[in-house]
Amino acid sequence: MFFLLVFIPEKAEFVLKVYVMFTRRSLLKAGVVGAGCLYLGGRLTARAEDVYNPEALKGINQGFPVKEAMYYRKREEERVECELCPRKCTIADRERGYCGVRENRGGAYYTLVHSRVCALNVDPIEKKPLFHYLPGTKAYSLATAGCNVECKFCQNWQISQYRPEQIESIKLTPEDVARDARMSGSKTIAFTYSEPVVFYEYMYDIARSAREEGIKSVMISNGYIQEKPLTELCQYLNAVKIDLKGFTEKFYQDICNGELKPVLTTLQTLKKAGIWFEIVMLVIPTLNDGEKEIEEMCVWIKENLGADVPVHFTRFHPTYKIKNLPPTPVKTLEMARKVALDSGIHFPYVGNVPGHAGENTYCPHCQRIVIGRAGFSIRENRLNNNKCGGCGGPIPGVWI
């Protein structure tokens, strides 16, 4: 037995929660299958599979559905190989993949986070950030626990880096989400905060239900997904934002425990699918802020994706495992934006610097402001039938 201290933000305050973690072997010996953790705070929390063994864990919060994963392959000796993300985890019986939210049970692979929401809010769509997608509208935003990479600068590590049984969650079916989104006045459902790829089946089902309600869907993702599931999902998505965290394999390996190449493949797949997407790069001092690296990235984007893909250079603030570096100097972000413009990118932005002129959308034809922003708010919108209200030049995007 060991103890894990977890800080979870609630109502803008950090509340200390103590979990007593037991090994799987000790629980199996005790005859309690799958009870991953006990929350010492008046309520017990259990893993989703406890639903099928109610007598063993009476009193523990139950009701989260367990659904078979859509993308995996069966192997010998009841092993499975996940075919959702580039890790291609091979998982033995009663074990989980790297993401911690998918489990092998007797040679069948299951997601444990379907309908299991741990974060929920109605946000401005600009917060995602998506600047060329329904500006000024709201997005009904949700997440489950889990992620398939570990970025040392993750701002939502309290949910992304923990297993579902360690996080307080509520049950919302895809139909619930679609209905609630419509009632909230949101134009869009955003899969965000943690990594939507790991709750793929839930996202897929929500997006289909949302379409029936006349609600659009967007994915805010690290892009760490295989081509086949991404292509299938794109049938029900209206836009995607991809975090391109750096432009070297070394950065991805050392800072994110991942790889760059699959993310570039994802961007090319989105281009081929014809879906609207935008790119965000969090610029971190000394780690990915070199002018040469940024230039190489911008040249690759223009040559492979096109000059009209918006690229957001956002400001880093110390968090999680990187607290020894300062916030990104605004001059660094301005340098990145200038490099992008010089490389032929039409819509580069400065992010996390409210009120900066780099938040505005400028017409690439006449250089006038088309959409003026202050933080997440729209100050002015001079679009006219998807064109610049000044010169009439086309402005690509998904507009109202």
Per-residue tokens: 280: 């965000």
Residue 89 DSSP class: -
Claim to verify: residue 3 and residue 137 sit in the same structural domain: no
Give yes or no for a cis peptide into 396 (omega within 30° of 0).
no
SS (H, E, C) 98-153: CCCCEEEECCEEEECCCCEECEEEEEEHHHCCCCCECCCCEEEEEECCCCCCCCCC
Q: Is the pLDDT of residue 13 over 80?
A: no
pLDDT digits (tens, 9 = 90+) for 380-399: 999 999 999 999 999 999 99
Give the residue from 23, 38, 62 where a domain finishes.
62
Q: Is the pLDDT of residue 214 over 50?
A: yes
- Given a contact cutoff of 8 angstroms between Cβ atoms, the answer to whether 200 and 219 are in contact is no
Per-residue tokens: 108: 């069948």
At how many degrees (to 10) do helices 291-304 and 261-273 cross? Answer: 30
Residue 78 DSSP class: G
- Per the domain annotation, does 117 fall within a domain? no
CA atoms within 13 A on the CB side of 145: 24
Q: Is the pLDDT of residue 321 over 90?
A: yes
Claim to verify: residue 143 and residue 286 sit in the same structural domain: yes
pLDDT digits (tens, 9 = 90+) for 42-89: 222 333 333 333 333 333 345 788 999 999 999 999 999 999 999 999
Q: Which of 338, 377, 343, 341 is nearest to 360 (CA)?
A: 377
Per-residue tokens: 321: 């495992």
- Given a contact cutoff of 8 angstroms between Cβ atoms, the answer to whether 142 and 180 are in contact is no
Alpha-carbon distance of 152 to 37, in angstroms, equals 25
Claim to verify: residue 282 and residue 390 sit in the same structural domain: no
318-330 b/e (C-beta count within 10 Å ≥ 16 → b): eebebeeeeebee
Q: Is the pLDDT of residue 217 over 90?
A: yes
Q: Which of 83, 71, 86 is nearest to 259 (CA)?
A: 86
CATH number at residue 269: 3.20.20.70
- Per the domain annotation, does 251 fall within a domain? yes
Claim to verify: residue 284 and residue 259 sit in the same structural domain: yes
State which residues form the domain around 33.
Answer: 1-62
Give the residue from 19, 41, 62 where a domain finishes.
62
**How many helices (DSSP H) and strands (DSSP E) are in the chain?**
9, 24
pLDDT band for position 400 (50/70/90)?
confident
Which pLDDT score, from 0 to 100, does residue 62 have?
56
Claim to verify: residue 211 and residue 240 sit in the same structural domain: yes
Q: What is the mean pLDDT of residues 258-275?
A: 98
- Given a contact cutoff of 8 angstroms between Cβ atoms, the answer to whether 313 and 284 are in contact is no
- Per the domain annotation, does 233 fall within a domain? yes
Q: Is the pLDDT of residue 108 over 90?
A: yes
Claim to verify: residue 389 and residue 269 sit in the same structural domain: no
